[in-house]
Protein backbone atom coordinates (compact mmCIF):
# COMPACT_ATOMS: atom_id res chain seq x y z
CA UNK A 1 0.00 0.00 0.00
CA UNK A 2 2.81 2.37 0.91
CA UNK A 3 4.54 1.72 -2.39
CA UNK A 4 1.37 2.40 -4.33
CA UNK A 5 0.72 5.61 -2.43
CA UNK A 6 4.23 6.83 -3.05
CA UNK A 7 3.87 6.16 -6.75
CA UNK A 8 0.62 8.17 -6.91
CA UNK A 9 2.32 11.10 -5.14
CA UNK A 10 5.16 11.06 -7.61
CA UNK A 11 2.74 11.07 -10.57
CA UNK A 12 0.81 14.06 -9.15
CA UNK A 13 4.08 16.02 -8.68
CA UNK A 14 5.01 15.28 -12.27
CA UNK A 15 1.64 16.60 -13.54
CA UNK A 16 1.99 19.80 -11.48
CA UNK A 17 5.44 20.34 -12.89
CA UNK A 18 4.17 19.99 -16.47
CA UNK A 19 1.37 22.53 -15.80
CA UNK A 20 3.90 25.02 -14.37
CA UNK A 21 6.06 24.52 -17.48
CA UNK A 22 3.18 25.18 -19.89
CA UNK A 23 2.17 28.33 -17.98
CA UNK A 24 5.72 29.61 -17.99
CA UNK A 25 6.02 28.80 -21.71
CA UNK A 26 2.86 30.77 -22.47
CA UNK A 27 4.09 33.67 -20.38
CA UNK A 28 7.41 33.67 -22.21
CA UNK A 29 5.54 33.58 -25.58
CA UNK A 30 3.42 36.63 -24.68
CA UNK A 31 6.48 38.41 -23.35
CA UNK A 32 8.36 37.51 -26.51
CA UNK A 33 5.59 38.95 -28.70
CA UNK A 34 5.57 42.18 -26.70
CA UNK A 35 9.34 42.45 -26.97
CA UNK A 36 9.16 41.77 -30.71
CA UNK A 37 6.58 44.51 -31.24
CA UNK A 38 8.68 46.86 -29.13
CA UNK A 39 11.79 46.03 -31.14
CA UNK A 40 10.01 46.42 -34.52
CA UNK A 41 8.42 49.70 -33.45
CA UNK A 42 11.75 50.98 -32.15
CA UNK A 43 13.56 49.95 -35.34
CA UNK A 44 10.86 51.59 -37.51
CA UNK A 45 11.17 54.79 -35.52
CA UNK A 46 14.94 54.65 -35.59
CA UNK A 47 14.96 54.11 -39.35
CA UNK A 48 12.53 57.02 -39.78
CA UNK A 49 9.81 54.81 -41.22
CA UNK A 50 6.25 56.13 -40.95
CA UNK A 51 3.00 54.44 -41.86
CA UNK A 52 0.44 56.66 -43.65
CA UNK A 53 -3.25 55.83 -43.46
CA UNK A 54 -4.96 56.66 -46.82
CA UNK A 55 -8.12 58.48 -45.83
CA UNK A 56 -9.26 58.41 -49.46
CA UNK A 57 -9.75 54.66 -49.31
CA UNK A 58 -13.46 53.80 -49.02
CA UNK A 59 -14.66 52.78 -45.61
CA UNK A 60 -18.09 51.84 -44.33
CA UNK A 61 -18.46 55.31 -42.82
CA UNK A 62 -17.31 57.00 -46.07
CA UNK A 63 -19.78 54.90 -48.06
CA UNK A 64 -22.59 55.97 -45.77
CA UNK A 65 -21.60 59.62 -46.13
CA UNK A 66 -21.44 59.26 -49.93
CA UNK A 67 -24.84 57.60 -50.10
CA UNK A 68 -26.28 60.32 -47.88
CA UNK A 69 -24.84 63.04 -50.14
CA UNK A 70 -26.18 61.26 -53.24
CA UNK A 71 -29.63 61.09 -51.67
CA UNK A 72 -29.48 64.79 -50.85
CA UNK A 73 -28.63 65.55 -54.48
CA UNK A 74 -31.51 63.40 -55.73
CA UNK A 75 -33.98 65.06 -53.35
CA UNK A 76 -32.78 68.53 -54.31
CA UNK A 77 -32.96 67.78 -58.05
CA UNK A 78 -36.56 66.59 -57.65
CA UNK A 79 -37.50 69.64 -55.56
CA UNK A 80 -35.99 72.00 -58.14
CA UNK A 81 -38.02 70.54 -60.99
CA UNK A 82 -41.29 69.21 -59.57
CA UNK A 83 -43.12 72.53 -59.92
CA UNK A 84 -41.86 72.88 -63.51
CA UNK A 85 -43.32 69.51 -64.57
CA UNK A 86 -47.03 69.56 -65.37
CA UNK A 87 -49.77 67.23 -66.49
CA UNK A 88 -51.14 67.61 -70.03
CA UNK A 89 -54.69 66.39 -70.80
CA UNK A 90 -55.72 65.69 -74.39
CA UNK A 91 -59.43 66.52 -74.70
CA UNK A 92 -61.31 65.33 -77.78
CA UNK A 93 -64.83 65.94 -79.02
CA UNK A 94 -67.05 62.86 -78.94
CA UNK A 95 -70.76 62.13 -79.26
CA UNK A 96 -70.96 62.51 -75.49
CA UNK A 97 -69.19 65.86 -75.59
CA UNK A 98 -65.62 66.86 -74.75
CA UNK A 99 -63.82 63.90 -73.16
CA UNK A 100 -60.27 63.30 -71.96
CA UNK A 101 -58.78 60.94 -74.54
CA UNK A 102 -55.33 60.65 -72.97
CA UNK A 103 -52.88 62.40 -70.70
CA UNK A 104 -49.16 62.97 -70.49
CA UNK A 105 -46.62 65.33 -69.00
CA UNK A 106 -44.85 68.51 -69.97
CA UNK A 107 -41.96 70.71 -68.84
CA UNK A 108 -42.26 74.48 -68.36
CA UNK A 109 -39.08 75.79 -69.96
CA UNK A 110 -39.74 79.51 -70.42
CA UNK A 111 -41.70 82.49 -69.11
CA UNK A 112 -42.04 85.53 -71.33
CA UNK A 113 -44.31 88.32 -70.16
CA UNK A 114 -47.78 86.91 -69.62
CA UNK A 115 -47.03 83.58 -71.27
CA UNK A 116 -45.33 80.37 -70.21
CA UNK A 117 -44.12 77.77 -72.71
CA UNK A 118 -44.22 74.02 -72.19
CA UNK A 119 -42.46 71.27 -74.15
CA UNK A 120 -44.20 67.91 -74.42
CA UNK A 121 -44.48 65.02 -76.89
CA UNK A 122 -46.30 65.24 -80.20
CA UNK A 123 -48.12 62.00 -79.43
CA UNK A 124 -49.45 63.53 -76.18
CA UNK A 125 -51.26 66.37 -78.00
CA UNK A 126 -52.09 64.59 -81.29
CA UNK A 127 -55.70 65.06 -82.51
CA UNK A 128 -56.65 67.15 -79.47
CA UNK A 129 -59.75 69.37 -79.69
CA UNK A 130 -58.56 71.19 -76.56
CA UNK A 131 -55.57 70.96 -74.25
CA UNK A 132 -55.56 71.37 -70.50
CA UNK A 133 -52.54 71.74 -68.25
CA UNK A 134 -52.59 70.60 -64.62
CA UNK A 135 -49.99 72.40 -62.51
CA UNK A 136 -48.13 70.74 -59.64
CA UNK A 137 -50.50 72.32 -57.09
CA UNK A 138 -53.56 70.87 -58.86
CA UNK A 139 -54.66 74.09 -60.56
CA UNK A 140 -55.78 73.77 -64.19
CA UNK A 141 -55.14 76.07 -67.13
CA UNK A 142 -56.31 76.01 -70.73
CA UNK A 143 -53.42 75.59 -73.15
CA UNK A 144 -52.82 76.74 -76.72
CA UNK A 145 -50.95 74.52 -79.16
CA UNK A 146 -48.02 76.45 -80.67
CA UNK A 147 -46.63 73.74 -82.94
CA UNK A 148 -45.73 70.08 -83.35
CA UNK A 149 -42.97 68.06 -85.00
CA UNK A 150 -43.82 64.40 -85.67
CA UNK A 151 -40.25 63.51 -86.70
CA UNK A 152 -38.83 64.25 -83.25
CA UNK A 153 -42.12 63.61 -81.39
CA UNK A 154 -42.02 67.08 -79.84
CA UNK A 155 -44.65 69.78 -79.33
CA UNK A 156 -44.86 73.20 -77.66
CA UNK A 157 -47.94 74.49 -75.85
CA UNK A 158 -48.56 77.83 -74.14
CA UNK A 159 -50.44 78.88 -71.00
CA UNK A 160 -50.85 82.10 -69.03
CA UNK A 161 -47.88 82.61 -66.73
CA UNK A 162 -49.71 84.06 -63.73
CA UNK A 163 -49.93 80.67 -61.98
CA UNK A 164 -46.48 79.44 -62.98
CA UNK A 165 -44.01 79.34 -60.08
CA UNK A 166 -41.06 77.49 -61.55
CA UNK A 167 -39.23 77.20 -64.87
CA UNK A 168 -36.98 74.21 -65.48
CA UNK A 169 -33.28 74.63 -66.10
CA UNK A 170 -32.48 73.06 -69.46
CA UNK A 171 -29.14 71.30 -69.56
CA UNK A 172 -27.17 69.55 -72.28
CA UNK A 173 -26.72 65.90 -73.19
CA UNK A 174 -23.14 66.42 -74.41
CA UNK A 175 -21.56 65.59 -71.05
CA UNK A 176 -24.00 62.82 -70.12
CA UNK A 177 -22.26 59.51 -69.38
CA UNK A 178 -23.49 55.96 -69.17
CA UNK A 179 -23.91 55.00 -65.51
CA UNK A 180 -24.71 58.45 -64.14
CA UNK A 181 -27.86 58.96 -62.09
CA UNK A 182 -31.02 59.86 -64.03
CA UNK A 183 -34.33 60.94 -62.51
CA UNK A 184 -37.62 60.78 -64.43
CA UNK A 185 -40.30 63.22 -63.26
CA UNK A 186 -43.83 63.15 -64.64
CA UNK A 187 -47.42 62.04 -64.21
CA UNK A 188 -47.60 58.26 -64.65
CA UNK A 189 -51.12 56.89 -65.14
CA UNK A 190 -52.61 60.39 -65.20
CA UNK A 191 -52.76 63.40 -62.91
CA UNK A 192 -53.72 61.32 -59.85
CA UNK A 193 -49.99 60.54 -59.58
CA UNK A 194 -48.78 64.03 -60.50
CA UNK A 195 -45.16 64.88 -59.75
CA UNK A 196 -44.00 61.29 -59.41
CA UNK A 197 -40.26 60.68 -59.60
CA UNK A 198 -38.30 57.52 -60.37
CA UNK A 199 -34.52 57.09 -60.16
CA UNK A 200 -32.19 55.02 -62.29
CA UNK A 201 -29.13 55.46 -64.43
CA UNK A 202 -28.34 56.43 -68.00
CA UNK A 203 -28.15 53.02 -69.68
CA UNK A 204 -27.10 54.06 -73.18
CA UNK A 205 -26.39 57.04 -75.43
CA UNK A 206 -26.93 57.79 -79.13
CA UNK A 207 -29.66 55.19 -79.49
CA UNK A 208 -31.75 55.47 -82.68
CA UNK A 209 -35.38 54.36 -82.58
CA UNK A 210 -37.25 53.87 -85.90
CA UNK A 211 -40.41 55.99 -86.19
CA UNK A 212 -43.35 55.24 -88.50
CA UNK A 213 -45.06 58.58 -89.11
CA UNK A 214 -47.55 57.79 -91.91
CA UNK A 215 -48.68 54.41 -90.58
CA UNK A 216 -47.42 52.30 -93.49
CA UNK A 217 -45.46 49.99 -91.16
CA UNK A 218 -42.20 51.35 -92.61
CA UNK A 219 -39.78 53.57 -90.63
CA UNK A 220 -39.83 57.17 -91.86
CA UNK A 221 -37.26 58.49 -89.43
CA UNK A 222 -34.93 57.51 -86.62
CA UNK A 223 -35.30 59.47 -83.40
CA UNK A 224 -32.10 59.91 -81.38
CA UNK A 225 -32.69 59.06 -77.71
CA UNK A 226 -31.05 58.52 -74.33
CA UNK A 227 -31.73 55.08 -72.85
CA UNK A 228 -32.49 54.88 -69.13
CA UNK A 229 -33.74 52.30 -66.66
CA UNK A 230 -35.62 54.95 -64.63
CA UNK A 231 -39.24 53.81 -64.83
CA UNK A 232 -41.17 55.63 -67.60
CA UNK A 233 -44.83 54.64 -67.47
CA UNK A 234 -47.87 55.75 -69.51
CA UNK A 235 -48.42 59.40 -68.63
CA UNK A 236 -44.69 60.08 -68.15
CA UNK A 237 -44.37 61.02 -71.84
CA UNK A 238 -43.29 64.63 -72.14
CA UNK A 239 -41.86 64.76 -68.63
CA UNK A 240 -38.32 65.57 -67.56
CA UNK A 241 -35.23 63.40 -67.35
CA UNK A 242 -33.03 65.18 -64.82
CA UNK A 243 -29.41 64.86 -63.66
CA UNK A 244 -28.13 65.35 -60.11
CA UNK A 245 -27.42 69.02 -60.81
CA UNK A 246 -31.15 69.55 -61.34
CA UNK A 247 -30.77 70.11 -65.10
CA UNK A 248 -33.20 68.65 -67.60
CA UNK A 249 -31.07 66.51 -69.93
CA UNK A 250 -33.94 64.95 -71.89
CA UNK A 251 -37.68 64.83 -72.52
CA UNK A 252 -39.15 61.43 -71.67
CA UNK A 253 -40.73 59.94 -74.75
CA UNK A 254 -41.38 56.21 -74.66
CA UNK A 255 -40.65 52.80 -73.23
CA UNK A 256 -40.49 49.32 -74.72
CA UNK A 257 -43.74 47.73 -73.56
CA UNK A 258 -43.06 44.02 -73.89
CA UNK A 259 -43.64 41.40 -71.24
CA UNK A 260 -40.08 40.12 -71.43
CA UNK A 261 -38.52 43.62 -71.36
CA UNK A 262 -38.00 45.60 -68.17
CA UNK A 263 -36.16 48.82 -67.46
CA UNK A 264 -35.76 50.20 -71.00
CA UNK A 265 -37.06 53.74 -71.38
CA UNK A 266 -36.10 56.56 -73.72
CA UNK A 267 -35.77 60.34 -73.59
CA UNK A 268 -35.07 62.84 -76.36
CA UNK A 269 -31.73 64.59 -75.63
CA UNK A 270 -31.92 68.32 -74.89
CA UNK A 271 -29.45 69.06 -77.69
CA UNK A 272 -32.08 67.70 -80.10
CA UNK A 273 -34.97 69.34 -78.23
CA UNK A 274 -33.70 72.93 -78.00
CA UNK A 275 -33.56 73.90 -81.72
CA UNK A 276 -36.87 72.14 -82.38
CA UNK A 277 -38.80 73.94 -79.62
CA UNK A 278 -37.29 77.27 -80.70
CA UNK A 279 -38.81 76.73 -84.18
CA UNK A 280 -42.13 75.48 -82.80
CA UNK A 281 -42.45 78.40 -80.41
CA UNK A 282 -41.76 81.06 -83.04
CA UNK A 283 -42.83 79.46 -86.35
CA UNK A 284 -45.24 76.72 -85.32
CA UNK A 285 -43.23 74.15 -87.28
CA UNK A 286 -39.68 73.03 -87.92
CA UNK A 287 -38.18 74.44 -91.11
CA UNK A 288 -36.21 71.79 -92.96
CA UNK A 289 -34.62 71.53 -96.43
CA UNK A 290 -37.14 70.57 -99.11
CA UNK A 291 -36.82 68.89 -102.52
CA UNK A 292 -40.48 68.73 -103.57
CA UNK A 293 -40.76 65.05 -104.45
CA UNK A 294 -42.59 62.02 -103.09
CA UNK A 295 -40.42 58.94 -102.81
CA UNK A 296 -40.62 55.19 -102.30
CA UNK A 297 -37.93 52.81 -101.07
CA UNK A 298 -36.42 50.75 -103.87
CA UNK A 299 -36.37 47.73 -101.56
CA UNK A 300 -40.18 47.65 -101.61
CA UNK A 301 -40.34 47.14 -105.37
CA UNK A 302 -40.22 43.59 -106.83
CA UNK A 303 -36.96 42.71 -108.59
CA UNK A 304 -38.71 42.00 -111.90
CA UNK A 305 -40.08 45.56 -111.97
CA UNK A 306 -36.66 47.01 -111.21
CA UNK A 307 -35.05 45.29 -114.19
CA UNK A 308 -37.88 45.02 -116.72
CA UNK A 309 -39.65 48.36 -116.25
CA UNK A 310 -36.96 50.57 -114.73
CA UNK A 311 -34.10 48.88 -116.60
CA UNK A 312 -31.88 49.10 -113.56
CA UNK A 313 -28.54 47.27 -113.58
CA UNK A 314 -28.62 44.09 -111.52
CA UNK A 315 -26.19 45.55 -108.96
CA UNK A 316 -28.53 48.49 -108.15
CA UNK A 317 -30.88 47.30 -105.41
CA UNK A 318 -30.89 50.21 -102.94
CA UNK A 319 -32.11 53.77 -103.31
CA UNK A 320 -35.40 55.66 -103.67
CA UNK A 321 -37.83 55.95 -106.58
CA UNK A 322 -39.38 59.30 -107.49
CA UNK A 323 -43.13 58.65 -107.26
CA UNK A 324 -44.28 62.24 -107.81
CA UNK A 325 -42.96 65.78 -108.34
CA UNK A 326 -44.49 69.01 -107.07
CA UNK A 327 -44.77 71.70 -109.69
CA UNK A 328 -42.46 74.67 -109.15
CA UNK A 329 -40.39 72.73 -106.60
CA UNK A 330 -36.58 72.35 -106.60
CA UNK A 331 -37.00 68.82 -108.03
CA UNK A 332 -39.11 70.19 -110.89
CA UNK A 333 -36.55 72.92 -111.59
CA UNK A 334 -33.80 70.24 -111.65
CA UNK A 335 -35.81 68.32 -114.33
CA UNK A 336 -36.24 65.19 -112.23
CA UNK A 337 -38.78 62.76 -113.69
CA UNK A 338 -41.23 60.27 -112.28
CA UNK A 339 -39.59 56.83 -111.88
CA UNK A 340 -36.09 58.30 -111.60
CA UNK A 341 -34.09 56.32 -109.04
CA UNK A 342 -31.87 58.31 -106.64
CA UNK A 343 -28.93 56.29 -105.31
CA UNK A 344 -26.65 59.00 -103.84
CA UNK A 345 -26.63 62.62 -102.67
CA UNK A 346 -23.36 64.57 -102.67
CA UNK A 347 -21.57 61.26 -103.17
CA UNK A 348 -23.17 59.62 -100.10
CA UNK A 349 -25.03 56.41 -100.90
CA UNK A 350 -28.77 56.47 -100.26
CA UNK A 351 -30.22 53.16 -99.08
CA UNK A 352 -33.71 54.35 -98.20
CA UNK A 353 -36.03 57.31 -97.80
CA UNK A 354 -34.97 57.50 -94.16
CA UNK A 355 -31.27 57.78 -95.02
CA UNK A 356 -32.07 60.53 -97.57
CA UNK A 357 -34.02 62.50 -94.96
CA UNK A 358 -31.30 62.07 -92.38
CA UNK A 359 -28.72 63.49 -94.75
CA UNK A 360 -30.93 66.42 -95.81
CA UNK A 361 -32.00 67.34 -92.28
CA UNK A 362 -28.60 67.01 -90.61
CA UNK A 363 -26.13 68.02 -93.35
CA UNK A 364 -27.88 70.65 -95.46
CA UNK A 365 -29.82 73.90 -95.19
CA UNK A 366 -32.19 75.94 -97.31
CA UNK A 367 -30.35 77.37 -100.33
CA UNK A 368 -27.68 74.64 -100.45
CA UNK A 369 -26.83 73.02 -103.78
CA UNK A 370 -26.82 69.23 -103.74
CA UNK A 371 -25.77 66.76 -106.41
CA UNK A 372 -27.97 63.71 -106.94
CA UNK A 373 -26.85 60.48 -108.56
CA UNK A 374 -29.85 59.31 -110.59
CA UNK A 375 -30.68 56.32 -112.78
CA UNK A 376 -33.13 57.07 -115.63
CA UNK A 377 -34.06 54.29 -118.07
CA UNK A 378 -31.12 52.31 -116.78
CA UNK A 379 -28.54 55.05 -117.38
CA UNK A 380 -26.68 56.88 -114.63
CA UNK A 381 -26.76 60.70 -114.61
CA UNK A 382 -26.17 63.63 -112.28
CA UNK A 383 -28.72 66.28 -111.27
CA UNK A 384 -27.99 69.57 -109.53
CA UNK A 385 -30.73 70.73 -107.15
CA UNK A 386 -31.06 73.87 -104.98
CA UNK A 387 -32.92 73.12 -101.77
CA UNK A 388 -35.80 75.27 -100.57
CA UNK A 389 -37.59 74.95 -97.23
CA UNK A 390 -40.84 73.42 -96.05
Catalytic residue among 82, 105, 153, 297: 153
Alpha carbon distance 289, 10 (integer Å): 115
Alpha carbon distance 40, 36 (integer Å): 6
Is 237 annotated as catalytic? yes
Measuring CA to CA, how many Å separate 139 from each of 79, 83, 120, 132, 134? 18, 12, 18, 10, 6
Q: Which residues pair with 225 in a beta bridge?
A: 207
Alpha carbon distance 39, 32 (integer Å): 10
Alpha carbon distance 291, 297 (integer Å): 16
Catalytic residue among 123, 136, 229, 340: 123
Catalytic residue among 82, 102, 203, 237: 237
Query: Which spans in 48-157 are helix H?
Result: 60-82, 122-125
Provide the 8-state DSSP code for 4: H
Alpha carbon distance 276, 290 (integer Å): 17
**What are the start-end ranges of the E strands in the chain?**
85-94, 97-112, 115-120, 130-134, 140-149, 154-160, 181-186, 196-211, 221-228, 240-242, 248-255, 265-269, 289-290, 293-297, 320-325, 341-345, 348-349, 369-376, 379-386, 388-389
Active site residues: 123, 153, 237
Amino acid sequence: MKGATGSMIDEEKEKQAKRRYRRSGLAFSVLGAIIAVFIITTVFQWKGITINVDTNEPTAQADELHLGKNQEDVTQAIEENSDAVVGVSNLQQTAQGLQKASSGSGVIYKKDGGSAFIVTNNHVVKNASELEVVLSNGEKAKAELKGTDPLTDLAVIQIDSDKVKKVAKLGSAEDVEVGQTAIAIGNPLGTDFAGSATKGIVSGLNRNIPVDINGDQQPDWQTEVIQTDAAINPGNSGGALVNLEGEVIGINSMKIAQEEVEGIGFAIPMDVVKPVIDDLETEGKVTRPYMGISLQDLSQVPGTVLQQQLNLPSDVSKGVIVAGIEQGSPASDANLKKYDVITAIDGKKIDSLMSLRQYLYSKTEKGDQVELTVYRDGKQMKAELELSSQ
